[in-house]
Structure 1
Amino acid sequence: MEFVIRLLIVGAAALLSSYILPGVHISGFLAAIILALVLAILNAIVKPILIILTIPVTILTLGLFLLVINAVIILLASSLVPGFTVDGFLWALLFSLVLSIITAILDMIF
């Protein structure tokens, strides 16, 4: 049950983030929920692999390269989820940051 609530929160945060950022487009709430599910899967499977492969760069940049990995995950989700488009890498990076902030705020509320 907690996973479903978490998906709803991330979906709502993604939809709200797309209203804030003009370079990110989500067609509706169903696409936002599918995006939340795909992001959960990608964060569980792909992200740890990318982190392990980029440990030297991550250490060299004092962890800031993790933001790049988050943007790559968003761009990958954009290619997988119909109804979700991101105009470029910078928008994916900004979407990642805004999504994290809004999700944290919604988690504190709910």
Structure 2
Amino acid sequence: MLKVQDVTVDPVTRRVWRDDREIVFSRKEFDLLHYLMAHAGEVVSRDDLMLTVWNTTFWTSSKTIDVHLGWVRRKLGDDPSQPTLITTVRGAGLRFESDAPAYSATMPAQAAAV
């Protein structure tokens, strides 16, 4: 079992829970989430994701990762304007946050995402 924040992944049974609620993921969604969680706190490049999750060294589509990431975020309830689980590090890749970022109620979403 792998647990980061309130998300738990069982790689053996390929099941995912957020708190006590089980969430069903497609095979690629699960692979993407599992890889990001296994590297929680680290920035994972898009090239690395294409190689490890999609088993390819070339981009089959420039939107493949974005589309799957959108589905994963939606299922987890992670607001892309103020993500607490998966953040985008511009120009570098994606990071599954080890701890939820602290957003100020007065801080604009753009400033919080930086």
Same fold (TM over 0.5): no
TM bucket, shorter chain: 0.3 to 0.5
Structure with the higher strand share, 1 or 2: 2
> What TM-score results when the alignment is normalised by the length of structure 2?
0.33
Structure with the higher helix share, 1 or 2: 1
Q: Which has the higher contact order (CA 8 A, sep 6+)?
A: 1
> What TM-score results when the alignment is normalised by the length of structure 1?
0.34
